[in-house]
Structure 1
Amino acid sequence: MKPPETPGYGRIARDGLWDNNVVLSQALALCPLLAVTGTATNGLGMGIATTVVMTASGLLIALLRGLLSAAVRIPIFVLVIATLVTLVDLTMNAWLHDLHKVLGLFIPLIVTNCAILGRAESFAARQPPLPAAFDGLMMGLGFTLVLVGLGAAREIIGSGTLFAGASLLLGPAMGFLEVTLIPEYRGFLLAILPPGGFLVLGFMLAGKRLLDRRLANRPRRKVSAASATTPPR
């Protein structure tokens, strides 16, 4: 059986960041997405942890793919992912303890993220190590961008701040991220509650669909205009 063709790095990046985005296109990992994005800081921390796991799991599974039989493939994938999540969990508990307390149970639950296991099965197990690791990185970054974007929108509407608590949760070096956009703002509680997360996510999904539709129709309009101005022979 001929092995699948390896896509170019540009194609992999576009898939991970936009075309096949974990949230906006596949609608996966919605539970941690909505649970931890009360602020952009929480979303950034969760996104970085998930990106590390996705990148490392893609690399390791691509390296092991020739040694695994079909019967034990999925259990080994889960074992690799669980090992990486445990390492990330212990590292965050040791070095980012405040952020670890805020994210809580959702760090170990990265193991159950369907996107990670799905990419391991559909891409990493069929491709060389470097493209597999790059695919994991791009998928993780696409997920992180949505986490941060959703968290930022909810935080701005809910409390008028951006990256609040970054110096405490991510370390003093990240204090420059903290911004108060609306001074003396009393806040809008709905935005930082679960219903606000669903509403903001709905607007993000609708925005992506609308932008994709406009981008898809743009070449057709150019072709139609060119054919209209070309005189018949």
Structure 2
Amino acid sequence: MSNYRDIAWQGLWKNNPGLVQLLGLCPLLAVTATLTNAIGLGLATLVVLVGSNILVSLVRDYVPKEIRIPVFVMIIAALVTCVQLLINAYAYGLYLSLGIFLPLIVTNCVIIGRAEAFASRNTVSKAAFDGLMMGLGFTLVLMMLGACREILGQGTLFDGANLLLGEWAADLTIHFWQVDTNFLLAMLPPGAFIAMGFLIAAKNIIDDKIAAHRPAPEPEQAVTRVRITKVS
């Protein structure tokens, strides 16, 4: 259980792919103009991450080391194609909104990195749990960034939720204030880059406070060694 707890801690906080590893920044900065887009891309990435970790762990003993990366990329590409077709069929509006960044999940360094660094060296259960935690960590960063940008940029939250959940979700939109024109800095990728910097700074401040309140380790007791000389 302690091993799984450490995997969860690594994925959600200590080694978060968005805030610490800084992987997958291209879709993270470009798509998170609204919370709906962030949730959609995050869930798609999570599904692909869990599925690829499971499949890579299953075939790890049968793939030669020389061709493991191309094989991993083929597995990821197949899963991304399935997810893309499902979103196209059941959430076409979200499919159009995510655009090219949906198929670009294939090149997301988070997925390839976990397949190579973890799934190819661990059991199926650990690989699946690692994919779930890393995917959740990445999705949470997407959601925080999308919520901040949407509130600052257009004064709403869950705008376009019907694209993800259906027509009934159109009433979920929350209006904080009415704006005549959107705040473009928050809606464009430069604003996302600035907001990402604030999120990373907030995480570093929290880590510093946790480290400051952590009790200092006790000094090791000196060990006296006695050398015995044999006298003939």
Question: After TM superposition, is the score higher than 0.5?
Answer: yes
**How has the CA–CA distance of structure 1 residues 104 and 7 changed in structure 2, closer, same or farther, with 3 Å as cutoff?**
farther
* 1:54-203 pair list within 5 angstroms: 54-175=49-170, 177-182=172-177, 184-186=178-180, 187-203=182-198
- In structure 2, the residue matched to 1:13 is 8
- In structure 2, the residue matched to 1:215 is 210
1:7, CA displacement in angstroms?
6.6
1:189, CA displacement in angstroms?
2.3
1:222, CA displacement in angstroms?
10
Q: Aligned-pair RMSD on alpha carbons? A: 1.8
CA contact (8 A) 1:154 1:197 kept: yes
Cα deviation 1:63-97 (Å, max 9, x = unaligned):
11111111111111011000000111111111111
**How has the CA–CA distance of structure 1 residues 123 and 103 changed in structure 2, closer, same or farther, with 3 Å as cutoff?**
same
Structure 1: gaps of 5 or more residues:
1-5, 224-233
TM-score by length of 2: 0.89
- In structure 2, the residue matched to 1:43 is 38
**How has the CA–CA distance of structure 1 residues 160 and 74 changed in structure 2, closer, same or farther, with 3 Å as cutoff?**
same
TM-score by length of 1: 0.88
1:220, CA displacement in angstroms?
3.7
* Largest Rg, 1 or 2: 2
CA contact (8 A) 1:62 1:127 kept: yes
1:9, CA displacement in angstroms?
1.4
1:198, CA displacement in angstroms?
1.0
Q: Does 1:28 align with 2:19?
A: no
CA contact (8 A) 2:50 2:135 kept: yes
Any runs of at least 4 consecutive aligned residues in structure 1 with deviations exceeding 6 A, and if so which?
none
SS at match of 2:61: helix
Structure 2: gaps of 5 or more residues:
219-232
- In structure 1, the residue matched to 2:227 is none
SS at match of 1:110: helix
CA contact (8 A) 2:150 2:156 kept: yes
Q: Counterparts of 1:117 and 1:201 in 2: how far apart (Å)?
A: 22
CA contact (8 A) 1:99 1:170 kept: no
Q: Counterparts of 1:7 and 1:54 in 2: how far apart (Å)?
A: 22
SS at match of 1:66: coil
